[in-house]
Structures are given as C-alpha cells and as structure tokens.
Amino acid sequence: CASLFNSRLLDGIHLTITAGPTREAIDPVRYISNHSSGKMGYALASAAADAGARVSLISGPTNLACPERVKRIDVVSASDMHDAAMAEMGQCQVFIACAAVADYRPANCAEQKIKKTDDSMRIELVRNPDIVSAVASHPQRPFTVGFAAETQDLLRYAKDKLERKNLDMIVANDVANTSIGFNANDNAVTVLWPTGNQTIAQMGKRQLAAQLITLIAQRFLSAEN
Ligand code: CTP
Ligand code: CA
C-alpha cells in the first residue's frame, strides 16, 4: 500500500504476528484443524512491513507465499506456535494474534496409524495454551492485539476477550457471514480498545490490513508517549 509505505509509521518497530490455522496430530497421518487460510495475518504482515516494521510472522500451515521483507517462522501445532511466540516476545514491541489456534489437541498422538475397529471411536482432547493471553500477561508484555472470531453476540464476546485476555486492542470478526472472515477474500471488522472502538466496512483483506495496521500503529504510538 503506497500511503502506508510513505508513512513509515512503524519504522524500526519489531512486530510479531501469528497467522493461519494450527494442526493437532491424532496419529502420524491425521490431524484436527480449522478453515483459516492465513490471508488476514499475511496481509497484516505485509502492511506492517510496508509501514517500516521489522516483522516476524509465526505461521501455521498455509498455501501462502511469505510477504517480502517478512521473516516467517513455520509451526504446525498450537504448542509449537506458543513456543515460537514466547521466543519472539523478548524482542517485539507489538504482538498481533491473528492465528486460528486450535483450542484443544488430542491428549495422545498415536505412534502408528490408528486402525478402524469399532463402529464409533472417541478421541480425548485437552486444552491448548492460550498464546495471546500468555504474551499479554508477561511482565515485559508488548502492545498486544487479539482477534475475536464469533458466529453470534460478536461485540459482547469481543469485549469480554479484550478484558479477560488483558489485550490493548481486539479486532472483532463476524465469521457467521461467509462473505467475510475465515476463508474469504473480504473482511469487515469492529476494533475495540478499553476506551473506544472503530468499525471498518467490508473491503479486501489487503486494504483492510493497511487500515488495521494504521489504527494499531496510532494506538501503539500514543500508548508509548
Ligand atoms: N488465541 C491464542 N491462543 C489460543 C486461542 C486463541 O492466542 N489457544 C488467540 C487468537 O489468535 C485470537 C484470540 O485469542 O487473537 C481469540 O481467539 P478466539 O478463538 O476467538 O477465542 P478463545 O479464547 O479461543 O475463545 P472461544 O474459541 O471459546 O470463543
Ligand atoms: Ca478459540
């Protein structure tokens, strides 16, 4: 985006973004995952690099090419993403959690491919670590931005996550509407922070990313001063 490129709003700022889905192994050939494409996170990484930031993109499995001037760190599971985020945290001033992290993983990953035997089977699941909460509760926390993907009561749930996860901002995304969010090319969001909010109307994810990075940069820079 030419205007962001000229703005250099985030010149020299270290920014880390999580993106895409995670995969939680059931056995050597199967996993639990979700429909996240990673497009929004990659578009944010690209827009942040345009604004002059030094960007680390912690990415789950996607089909996307790494944006120019962005350092990609590839991960598979939520646990891997958590470890990569903790390792990046010390150097970053802004953290944006855009990944659709699997909330649960199989309690055990079978060593061999599971054979079908009975007519039904159960997989025991255990909770994954909450990455953005871990970042936001750290003593040297960066300016921390989360996403809330909801299919109902969008703003109420988003506000609750903003408070519960101790975030500086949250981007509320209505994923019940299939023309926006998850696998779509377009998105429309409402951004909330403790003292205000702003709605960004439906547009392409690249354009939206430029607007989001501008808003995040403004709030981050005003919090710094
Ligand atoms: N998130 C995270 N680690 C997790 C789960 C979520 O970092 N294990 C982050 C997401 O990247 C997003 C925010 O938390 O920025 C909200 O994700 P969401 O799935 O909407 O919230 P959850 O807390 O998982 O709650 P629920 O799925 O029950 O609505
Ligand atoms: Ca979740």
Shortest-distance Cα residue to atom 20 of ligand 1: 148
Ligand 1 binding pocket, CB closer than 6 Å: 18, 78, 97, 99, 101, 103, 128, 130-132, 146-149, 161
* 118 belongs to a structural domain: no
* 93 belongs to a structural domain: yes
ipTM, 2 decimals? 0.98
Which of 6, 34, 128, 197 is catalytic? The answer is 34
Say whether 34 is catalytic: yes
**24-27/125-127 β-pairing:** unpaired
* 182 belongs to a structural domain: yes
Distance 7 CA to ligand 1 centre (A): 31
What does pTM read for this prediction? 0.95
**Among 14, 42, 134, 140, residue whose Cα is nearest residue 79:** 134
Cα 48 to Cα 213: distance, rounded to the nearest angstrom: 6
- The CATH number of whichever domain residue 78 belongs to comes to 3.40.50.10300
How many domains, the chain? 1
Which ligand is closest in space to the CA of residue 79?
A: 1
For the chain, strand residue ranges (E) read: 14-19, 24-27, 30-32, 54-59, 70-74, 94-97, 104-106, 125-127, 143-150, 169-174, 186-193, 196-204
Tens of pLDDT along the chain (225 residues) come to 567 767 799 999 999 999 999 999 999 999 999 999 999 999 999 999 999 999 999 999 999 999 999 999 999 999 999 999 999 999 999 999 999 999 999 999 999 999 999 999 999 999 999 999 999 999 989 999 999 989 899 999 999 999 999 999 999 988 887 666 666 777 889 999 999 999 998 888 889 999 999 999 999 999 887
Q: Which domain holds residue 12?
A: 2-103+125-224
Q: Which atom of ligand 1 is nearest to the CA of 146?
A: 15
